[in-house]
Amino acid sequence: MRCAVVGHVEWVEFARVPRWPEPGAIIHASEVWSEPAGGGAVIARQLALLAGRCELFTAFGDDEAGRSAVRRLAELGIDTHVQHPVGSHTRRAWTHVDDQGERTITVLGDKLLPFGPLPLEGYDLVFFVSGDAEALRSARRARFVAATMREQPLLHEAGAHIDLMSGSANDPREHYDGTLDVGLVVVTDGPNGGTANGEHFDAVELPGPVVDTYGAGDSFSAALAFALARGDALPDALKLAARAGAAVLTGRGPYTSQLALN
């Protein structure tokens, strides 16, 4: 299955800390690491594991952070198509992961968005994470298009039909008012499962203790889009997606324990 993602990527510095620091406090990280992350990268890597390969249409500054991100994404099985907006710098982020596995993110710089038109004819699945309206209209040339709830203003602007829109019940930025042309709306609620077009579905048992929540929601959405695009029935697709989200919770960062098909 030919898959692509349209969306942003940040160069993220991760630090594992015992707790989020209180005002004026100094805490010591037990572990630090760096990865290209953000919604575009995490969804593309999950799709690459499930489909065998995935392309990512994104934007970076013409700087070392951007070049490092492209190299690392290639190692993760992602083919990147990179735009370099004039005068831009690759967006960075700091992520603290506490002893409960919860992540707290600080972003540095503007989100760099891919702009359309993009050559997306003939794809089986395009997952739209972020970009401009023309990029979204390009995505609509694919057989199946998924998008995140965070992009609702742009979805209104583009006026394109979306096959799947997913989001979190625990993120106030992802409240859906029901006004878009969407085939399936899925809202997750952590260990409580979630809803698909208003119908409840269950979470799955975690395969291990929670280590890091970063990327779990994006991996759920990627796996759901993959399963639906290949023709799985909705209950089966939701089970695969729930397994993918649960798997990420048990590993460090977004990539070490993402679900792969045998």
3-state secondary structure 187-233: EECHHHCEEECCEEECCCCCCCCCCCCCCHHHHHHHHHHHHHHCCCC
Cα–Cα distance measured from residue 151 to residue 130, given in angstroms and rounded to the nearest whole number = 7
Q: Tell me if 132 is assigned to some domain.
A: yes
Structural domain range at position 85: 3-249
Contact 11, 92 (CB under 8 A): yes
CATH code, domain carrying 38 = 3.40.1190.20
Q: Tell me if 221 is assigned to some domain.
A: yes
Q: Tell me if 255 is assigned to some domain.
A: no
Q: Tell me if 259 is assigned to some domain.
A: no
Give the CA-trace dihedral at 206, 149, 185, 162, to 10 degrees.
-130
**Structural domain tally of the chain?**
1
In this model, does residue 258 exceed pLDDT 80? yes
Kindly give, in sequence order, each residue whose CB lies less than 8 Å from that of residue 87, ignoring residues fewer than 6 positions away: none
Residue 131 has what pLDDT? Answer: 97
pLDDT above 90 coverage of the chain, percent? 92
Please report how the helices 216-229 and 234-249 are oriented relative to each other, as an axis angle in degrees rounded to 10: 150
In this model, does residue 262 exceed pLDDT 80? no
Mean pLDDT of 83-107: 93
pLDDT above 70 coverage of the chain, percent? 100
Q: Tell me if 262 is assigned to some domain.
A: no
Residue 180 has what pLDDT? Answer: 94
In this model, does residue 20 exceed pLDDT 90? no
pLDDT band at 261 (very low <50, low <70, confident <90, very high): confident
Q: What angle do CA 103, 259, 90 make, to 5 degrees?
A: 50
pLDDT (tens digit, 9 = 90+) per residue, 26-64?
999 999 999 999 999 999 999 999 999 999 999 999 999
Tokens of 163: 């096959």
Q: Tell me if 134 is assigned to some domain.
A: yes
In this model, does residue 112 exceed pLDDT 80? yes
pLDDT (tens digit, 9 = 90+) per residue, 164-223?
999 999 888 888 988 999 999 999 999 999 999 999 999 999 999 999 999 999 999 999
Q: Tell me if 244 is assigned to some domain.
A: yes
Residue 171 has what pLDDT? Answer: 85
Q: Tell me if 256 is assigned to some domain.
A: no
Residue 147 has what pLDDT? Answer: 97
